A = this chain, B = another copy of it.
Amino acid sequence: MTRVLDRAAIAAALADLDLVGRIEAGFAAYSAGRCNVPPVGELLMETGEVHIKYGCVTGDPTYLVKIASGFPGNPARGLPSGNGVMLIFSQQTGALETVLLDEGHLTDLRTAIAGAVAARLLAPPDIPAIGILGTGIQARLQARELRAVVACRDLVLYGRDASRRAACRADLAAMGFVVRETDDPAEVARACRLIVTTTSAEAPLLSAADIRPGTHLSAMGSDTPAKQELDPAILARAARVIVDSRPQALLRGEAHRALAVGAIDASCLDEIGEILLGRKPGRRAADEITVFDSTGLAVQDIAIAAAVAERATAAPALARSLGGD
């Protein structure tokens, strides 16, 4: 019997979930070597591109296949460019248990929750303001999810485009934040001790001289070899550079860029899962600069999908079932 959850059913299932704990367990499983995640499949077409991520935590009840796509022509049609679906199968029988018609939302959300995990482990004890760079969906979700782990509700928002910035500000205000706007990233660095970057920039927005002692930065935007939001000198100056996956950080994201110019050495990289396993410390001093470089792991998808599916099992009215034999 396969269950199908649409966006509304997924939203209902998400309402009561402790996703921070689930994503943390996923990162820990990854760094403990318990994840079986083959290389990403890729289908490149003239009209768009598709990535297929799949894998499991060994011994879990289920395995996951995620299909995520980007179609650049969609906005001209009034559609979001990104789309996606997650499929949850039994690791015991291979049966398709749950189809999550999330249209990419769960990927956005698991990325936001990785930011909250990093803030919980690495943010300084006193945060005068949260800084957010970027005004898209990820800027909104990062701010929303941070509320569970950070008491601060003052926020400085950077964006280049004034109208997009104003729209984002309104959404953040509705979440309970007191928001100040700026078109200068350095102003964010001056005012904030927890900074989250969510742009698709391909050149640094923040430079090392801007960053104050005792700042934590979560670089969420750069997930390809080309994207970059932070000056490599920030990583060189940081007491700790934490990544989601050491092998992946060598190939993409901020650490990759800093390694390429010799600003840091690969031996300085720790995984966030290693902190969660107690194998590496979190923040050690209030005046340390720390960086979390997120490139995105399949185990985050596995964790969030399993959490939603389990919640739907506990509250079956959320899902519609389709009979098998």
Contact = CB atoms under 8 A, between A and B. Distances in A.
A193 B14 CA distance: 62
A100 to B, nearest CB: 11
Interface in A51-103: 52, 54-56, 58, 63, 65, 67, 69-71, 73-74, 77, 79, 83, 85, 87, 89, 91-96, 99, 101, 103
Number of copies: 2
A325 interface: yes
A262 interface: no
B50 A43 contact: no
A322 interface: yes
B74 A83 contact: no
B41 A38 contact: yes
A54 B74 CA distance: 22
A33 interface: no
A247 interface: no
A8 to B, nearest CB: 8
A31 to B, nearest CB: 20
A163 interface: no
Contacts of A261: none
B87 A325 contact: no
Interface string A283-325: 0000000000000000000000000000000000000101111
Contacts of A151: none
A25 interface: no
A91 B74 CA distance: 11
Nearest to A49: B94
A137 to B, nearest CB: 14
A45 B63 contact: yes
A228 B93 CA distance: 28
Given A6-B323, A38-B42, A322-B320, A95 B83 contact: yes
A7 interface: yes
B38 A7 contact: no
Contacts of A267: none
Given A43-B63, A79-B93, 20 more contacts: A2-B101, A4-B99, A6-B322, A7-B325, A38-B42, A39-B41, A41-B52, A43-B56, A45-B58, A45-B63, A48-B94, A69-B89, A70-B94, A71-B92, A77-B93, A83-B94, A83-B96, A85-B96, A99-B99, A101-B324
Interface of A: 2, 4, 6-8, 36, 38-39, 41-48, 50, 52, 54-56, 58, 63, 65, 67, 69-71, 73-74, 77, 79, 83, 85, 87, 89, 91-96, 99, 101, 103, 320, 322-325
20 contacts: A2-B101, A7-B324, A36-B44, A36-B45, A38-B43, A41-B52, A45-B56, A45-B63, A47-B91, A48-B94, A50-B54, A50-B63, A65-B67, A71-B93, A74-B94, A77-B93, A79-B93, A83-B95, A96-B101, A103-B325
4 cross-chain pairs, A with B, having the tightest CB-CB distances, nearest first: A69-B94, A83-B94, A41-B41, A71-B94
